[in-house]
Every structure is written in C-alpha cells, then in structure tokens.
Structure 1
C-alpha cells in the first residue's frame, strides 16, 4: 500500500465520502463514531483505520495504518528501525520532526506532510497521516469526483 504524502494511502484520498471508500474496499469490518461524532471505519485485512470528520461533511480526513506492506517513497516502513526510516526520508527532503515520548512509545511528527511515525522499542509500529490544512486555515481536500 503506497503512502501518498498530503493525499492519502493507496486508493484512499483525503476528501472522499464513506460511499466512495465502500465502492473501492467494500464495507468496513468496524464502523463506529468517536467521542466527537466522527465516523470511523476499520479494515482488519488492510490494518487501517479511517476517520471521516463530522464537522467537514463527513469527509475522509485522517488515516492510521500498521500494515507491513505500507510503503513511503518505495520503502517499507513498518517494523523497521526509526533511524533507517528517517534517513530515507531525509533523502527526500523530510527532515523536521517533533518528537514526543509516552510510555514505551515515541511519536515523530512532521507537520509539513502531517504524518506521524509511531515507534515502540525503536521500531516503527504505526503510521498516521492527516489531510493538510492550507494557508486559509481550511482543509485542502484532494478528492475530486
């Protein structure tokens, strides 16, 4: 599954509606609302969680994935040492990360691409990507019907 910075993952593009996603991947294994009334889809086989923002007309705005087949710039990232992944990203010009620690986990957040690499025991275990917010403080939806 190819990660497309600022756009989404695989065929999932920020701004899609639930029906757009279902047309591609079928019904999710889980479908529920979070505490903010956002709609969450979870696909077990893909190891991905999708968030459709309630305040944005239920558009796809956030993805959390842990599939070992995730690729960023042609390189797999899950279950790899964070130092190796960051080195590969630096070669693509992605160098600024804010680091946050909690328990045995560390998050490496890159605001420019709105991505988080979550590590545990120095290995990437989860990848998160969100829709970009533009200069007008609005979401930059990439999906066009």
Structure 2
C-alpha cells in the first residue's frame, strides 16, 4: 500500500465519500461514530482506519494504518527504525519532524504533509496521514 503524501493511501484520496471507499474496498469490517460524530471505517485486512469528517459532509479526511506493506517513497516503513525513516524522508525534501512523547510511544509529526509516524522502542508501529489545509484555512480535497 503506497502512501501518497498530501493525497492519500493506496487508491484512497482525501475528499472521497463513504460510498466511494466502499466501491473500492467493499464494506468495512467495522463502522462507528466517534465523539465528534465523525464516521470511522475499519478494514482489518488492510490494518486501516478511515475517518470521514461530519463537519465536512462526511468526506474522507484522515487515515491511519499499521499494515506491514505500507510504503513511503518505495520503502516499507512499519517495523523500520525511525532514524532510517528520517533519512528516507529528508532525502525527499521533508525536513522537520516534531516529536511528542506519550509514555513508551513517540509521535514524529510533519505539519506540511500532515503525517505522523508513531514509534515505540525506536520502531515505527503506525502511520497517520491527514488531509492538508490550504492557505485559505480550508481542506485541500484531492477527490473531485
């Protein structure tokens, strides 16, 4: 599954509606609403969690995955040491990663691409990608 920074993961693009995703992946293994009334789809085989934002007409705005075949710039990242991932992304011009610590987990966040590498014991265990907000303070939806 290929990560496309600022756009989505695999065939999924930010701005898709639930029916667009279902037409690609089928019905989710689990579906529920979070505390903000956003709709969440879980796909077990893809180790993928998708969030459709309620206040944006339920457009796909956030993706989380821990699938071992997840690739960024043609490199698998799940299970890889974070210093190696940092080398990969800096070689592609992505410079700043802010680090937040939560118990045994560290989040390495890049705001310009709205991506987070969740790391435990220096190893990437989960990846998060959010839709980009443009200069007009609006989401930059990729799906038309």
TM-score (norm 2): 0.99
Matched, 1:65 2:65: yes
- Pairwise CA RMSD: 0.3
Cα distance between partner residues in 1 of 2:19 and 2:89: 33
Deviation at 1:95, TM superposition (A): 1.4
Post-superposition Cα deviations, 1:36-95, rounded to whole Å, max 9, x if no partner, equal 000000000000000000000000000000000000000000001000010111100111
Cα distance between partner residues in 2 of 1:140 and 1:88: 25
The residue number in structure 1 matching 2:27 is 27
Cα distance between partner residues in 2 of 1:88 and 1:17: 32
What stretches of structure 2 of length at least 5 have no aligned partner?
none
The residue number in structure 1 matching 2:114 is 114
TM-score (norm 1): 0.99
Runs of 4+ with deviation above 4 angstroms: none
Task: Count the aligned residue pairs.
Answer: 144
What stretches of structure 1 of length at least 5 have no aligned partner?
none
The residue number in structure 2 matching 1:17 is 17
The residue number in structure 2 matching 1:95 is 95
